[in-house]
Amino acid sequence: MKELQNKAAELLENGTINLLIGFCEDGSKRAVPCFIETAAEANTLVFNQDCKNNLSVYLHKKEVKDAVKIGLVANVATLRSVLQLLSENQLWSLTLTYLTVNGAGELVVLSSAEELEGYVQANFPTCRPEDQEMLDKLNAMSREERWAFWKDQLSECVKCYACRAVCPMCYCTVCTTECNQPQWIKTSAETSGNFEYHTMRAMHLAGRCINCGECGRICPAGIPVHLLTAQMNQEIEQEFGGKTGWSLKGGYALNSFKPGDKENFIK
């Protein structure tokens, strides 16, 4: 911890970064995202099992972007989202430095996109076992059972859009849900409208979701929405190959085509 705090202070002091996005403890000792601009504040930083938020989502925020040179305290899921974002031609206007802790508990500082790519590939996460277990359970259900499961879950959705807000891949300035001419998605949070929204979101994230699980973890209504995107990702991987958040040149499956594509609808 001390090492992380010292490094952060050093980077802020020598001007490598103007802003550090990390975690500190609130009055109730919970790890919360924090935004540090001076070396003196670096001693409030923490990084432990409690630090779950995917902080890369803040890189889309105007108040953050203004700082340009930014340090990011990140676990591997967060690093993977940045990599995916870079491959989608996002964030290149920022100068990013990443601070993470490897499996051996050592502080690792990554200061270029290439170093980031190398680290992510060497530490690539697999699907969380509890998620895989749930996906297997859902896939083993009959279509009717699965429908009943999601109907029950999605009836609780209030469309607070927290799932969208915490998702680093949801960076559209105007989301489809906010278009009203034409209105693609119902605004009201009734079950059928909730299905429309979550189906749309899963489709837009197919092959782009880096499976950090944040959307499901933070859902106020406790809906495991991350399983929808996780499932889509597995299908994309199976059909088209490739991994999300794996390389700088990754792009994503549903946004690329080859002239020799066996399907002819695109020609």
Partner 1 sequence: MELKLISTTDIAAFFDGLLKAGKVVVAPVLKQSGKVFFKPVQSFAEVATEYIQTTFSAKEVVFPKVEELFTYKHNEEGGLDFNDYLDRIPETVIWGLRPCDAAGFDYLNVFFLQEHPDAYFKARYDKTTLVTMSCSTCDESCFCTSVDSHPGDTKGSDVLLTAMDGKYYVEVMTEKGSSLINNNLELFTSTETLSKERFLAKPATRFSMEEIKDRIQNAYDSVEWKQASMGCYSCGACAFACPTCTCFDIQDEGTQDHGKRVRCWDACALSQFTKHASGHNPRKTQTERRRQRLMHKFKYSVENLGIVSCVGCGRCIRVCPSHLNIFENILSVTK
Question: Between 76-87 and 113-122, two packed helices, what is the crossing angle to 10 degrees?
Answer: 130
Smaller CB separation from partner 1, 73 or 253 = 73
- Residue 207 identity: G
The Cα–Cα gap between 230 and 127 comes to: 8
Nearest-approach distance from CB 75 to partner 1, in angstroms = 16
- CA–centroid distance for 168 within its chain: 4
Task: Spell out the residues 6+ positions from residue 157 whose beta carbon is closer than 8 angstroms to its own.
Answer: 189, 194, 197, 198, 221, 223
Tell me if residue 171 falls in helix, strand or coil: coil
Query: Where do contacts with partner 1 occur on this chain (CB under 8 A)?
Result: 26-28, 30, 32-35, 53, 57-58, 61-64, 156, 158-162, 164-166, 178, 186-190, 193, 214, 218, 220-224
Smaller CB separation from partner 1, 141 or 160 = 160
Nearest-approach distance from CB 264 to partner 1, in angstroms = 35
Smaller CB separation from partner 1, 224 or 245 = 224
Smaller CB separation from partner 1, 178 or 235 = 178
- Residue 238 identity: Q
Identify any residues that bridge with 23 across adjacent strands, giving them in sequence order: 33, 46
Smaller CB separation from partner 1, 164 or 208 = 164
By C-alpha distance, which of 62, 68, 83 is closest to 37? 68
236 to 28, 50, 69, 207, 239: CA distances (angstroms)? 42, 31, 35, 6, 5
Nearest-approach distance from CB 61 to partner 1, in angstroms = 7
By C-alpha distance, which of 254, 248, 212 is closest to 92? 248
Smaller CB separation from partner 1, 28 or 89 = 28
Nearest-approach distance from CB 53 to partner 1, in angstroms = 6
Nearest-approach distance from CB 27 to partner 1, in angstroms = 6
Sign of CA dihedral 141, 164, 153, 178: negative
The CB-based long-range contact list for 237-243 (8 Å cut-off, 24+ gap) reads 237/207, 240/207, 242/207, 243/124
Smaller CB separation from partner 1, 33 or 242 = 33
The residue assigned the tokens 């206007």 is 93
Nearest-approach distance from CB 134 to partner 1, in angstroms = 12
Smaller CB separation from partner 1, 193 or 251 = 193
Nearest-approach distance from CB 4 to partner 1, in angstroms = 19
The Cα–Cα gap between 250 and 197 comes to: 27
Nearest-approach distance from CB 35 to partner 1, in angstroms = 4
